[in-house]
Amino acid sequence: MANLYKRILLKLSGEALLGEQGHGIDGNILTQYAEEIKAVHAEGVEVSVVIGGGNIFRGVKGATEGMDRVQGDYMGMLATLINSMALQDALERKGVHTRLMSAIRMEEIAEPYIRRRAIRHLEKGRVVLFGAGTGNPYFTTDTAAALRAIEIESEVILKGTRVAGIYDSDPEKNPEAKKFDIITGDEILKRRLNVMDLTAFTLCRENATPIIVFDMNISGNLKRVVCSNEAVGSTVVWDES
């Protein structure tokens, strides 16, 4: 069966890397994510990744109380680079060629983000990791993921979470929460569901970029989303007719 997508952007949360730990990076989760990405990459899919920094930045958040917002946001961007470097190493150890591109220049550890170069890396079969968000304060990694996906002409944004998809309420707090297999953008706004921040959501809507939210922690789920017709997760569609 042919893959459903040729080029994807995978958005991962930094908190997911915590695993059972209270802080830092769980090596087992990191290895699992690398295996999931490798399996999809092996099918010929062009893979890019944006990962948050919550597992690191949340741990020092107490120290930033009262701190200038811009300073704190730049600290968060650096946290995403730490996570990106960790995932890059895990992928490389599994034989997957990667490139880490940063929105903040630090040539010793990452290439500066250049759109055409990123696309060329993908075309050459390298997994591309985008670090440091958009390089600007006041923007989340959700927004960075939406922006990069649109720039590199990704066919879909895959948001890997620890729940099975989009629900009408928090499934971790409400066992009766109803899961949506398909939901329109208008319905998400109407229900005020927390899928992505509004800036990211608007970017996706204006460019008709599909979003699929799924449980990244179930082995094989990423490949099911990308390479099969199995109903996995929740899909956000923009055709409101």
Q: Which helix (H) or strand (E) holds 67?
A: none
- pLDDT of residue 180 exceeding 50, the answer is yes
Write a three-state SS string for the chain.
CCCCCCEEEEEECCHHHHCCCCCCCCHHHHHHHHHHHHHHHCCCCEEEEEECCHHHHHHHHHHHCCCCHHHHHHHHHHHHHHHHHHHHHHHHHCCCCEEEEECCCCCCCCEECCHHHHHHHHHCCCEEEEECCCCCCCCCHHHHHHHHHHHCCCCEEEEEECCCCEECCCCCCCCCCCEECEEEHHHHHHHCCCCCCHHHHHHHHHCCCCEEEEECCCCCHHHHHHHCCCCCCEEEECCCC
Spell out the domain ranges in the chain. 7-237
- pLDDT of residue 123 exceeding 60, the answer is yes
What would the CATH number be for the domain defined by 7-237?
3.40.1160.10
Residue 15: the pLDDT is 86
- The dihedral through the CA atoms of 69, 73, 74, 79 has a sign that is positive
- pLDDT of residue 3 exceeding 80, the answer is no
Name the residue among 38, 36, 40 with its Cα closest to residue 226.
40
φ, ψ at 232 (rounded to 5°): -125, 130
Residue 57: the pLDDT is 75
Give pLDDT tens digits for 51-71: 999 888 765 555 556 788 888
- pLDDT of residue 218 exceeding 80, the answer is yes
- pLDDT of residue 106 exceeding 60, the answer is yes
Distance CA 137, CA 224 (A): 35
